[in-house]
Amino acid sequence: MARRLQLHQLLETFTENVYFQPPTNIQLEYPCIIYKRDFASTKFADDKPYNFKLRYMIIVIDRNPDSDIPDKVASMPLSLFSRFYTVENLNHDVYSVYF
C-alpha cells in the first residue's frame, strides 16, 4: 500500500482532485485524476518471483482540451498513453503506468 500512497501523492502534484477507485455516489470535482489497479507484472527466475510491479490505469478528466495534466502524467516513468475519449464535454485521457 505504501507504493500506492506514493503514487497518490505524486498525482496530487498534478491536480488536487485525485481519486482512487471512487465509489459511484461521490461527486467528482474537475479537473481530476481517477486511478485504479489494472494489472501486475511478475518476473521469475528458478520458478521464484524476483520482480513484481503493479500497473495502474490513470484517467485524467478535464473540461479543458488543452490541459497540461495529461502531459504531466505522460512524462512519468513507465507511462503509456492508452486512449482518448470525450463524454458530456469532459475530455478523458487514459494512461497505463507501472509504479
Per-residue pLDDT of the chain in tens (99 residues, 90 and over written 9): 699 999 999 999 999 999 999 999 999 999 999 999 999 989 999 999 988 899 999 999 999 999 999 999 999 999 999 999 999 999 999 999 999
In Å, the largest CA–CA distance within the chain is 51
Q: Cα 35 vs. chain centroid, distance in angstroms?
A: 4
Neighbours of 18 (CB within 10 A): 19
2-98 architecture in CATH? Answer: 2-Layer Sandwich (3.30)
Collapsed DSSP state (helix, strand, coil) of residue 65 = coil
Q: Are 97 and 80 in contact (CB under 8 A)?
A: yes
